[in-house]
Amino acid sequence: GASRRGILIKGANFMDVLAKVDTVVFDKTGTLTHGQFAVSAVHPDTCDEHELLHLAAHVEHFTTHPIGAALRDAFPDEATDGCKITDVEEIAGHGIRAKVGDKVVCVGNTKMMDAIGAKWHDCHHVGTIIHVAIDGEYAGHIVINDQIKPDSADAIAQLHELGVKRTVMLTGDRQEVAAHVANELHLTEYHAELLPADKVAHVERLLQAYTNQSEKSHLAFVGDGINDAPVLARADVGIAMGGLGSDAAIEAADVVLMDDKPSKIALAVRIARRTLAIAHQNVVFAIGVKAAVLVLAAFGIATMWLAVFADVGVTVLAVLNNR
């Protein structure tokens, strides 16, 4: 039933965990948002807009990250202008450094700018700010925006209706962007400007909070990127976006949403709870009927046909109840 609705659950044991989830942790980009970025503003400091976009697009030439795709789309001529790109180095949680021609260009977040000693400045625009430094000198920044998925708000609302107590967003994006998305979706909490290892630490903290509870609670993490794989593996149940998600995330996850719709998370929880309810009904019914026939048999009342019903008939009714 879940598969027909585009939800791949990799094992029956994950149904039990899904049914008892009361905390859902989300990645932002590609999970709650489309992950299809577009350049909305270019603010150069030491060069013109064309040069800033030109260098940033070259540095991001080999990356598969959505931000890199947005920069390449904003400067479509970068593949044919003959510039030589060498010494490409991707620094997790910071950005990418590469040599474009004879210039060393760093494209990334404020952590990367601080690491190389470039004196960056903030931007009043709401969005993901990509800072650029040329030969160690700050050259400007590019504003990139992403759109929230149409069903993300409905997904959060449905989870709250199902009794999920906490909906948490973890993102490496800026505080202002994270706050905007969290307010739009009515999340219970969010944490921004995180490195991949920070996401694991936050999930560990949430899991640790459950250890003192008498009844075990369960945590689900929803993500799509290669950096989400460790968190997907660490959560009680990992849920990956299967459409645009990375192979590593899909491999590490326990549940895969084939159409990337966050609203399918609530549907998966409902299917899991209904499945467990049916299983409990079948167990009580089957054992009850068999016990009743045994009692009747002890008094010599049960017939052979009643015994057949208690065996085969109960099995057939249990199967029909699953439908």
Q: Is 260 a catalytic residue?
A: no
C-alpha to C-alpha distance for 30 and 262, rounded to whole angstroms: 10
Q: Which of 16, 22, 27, 311 is catalytic?
A: 27
Catalytic residues: 27
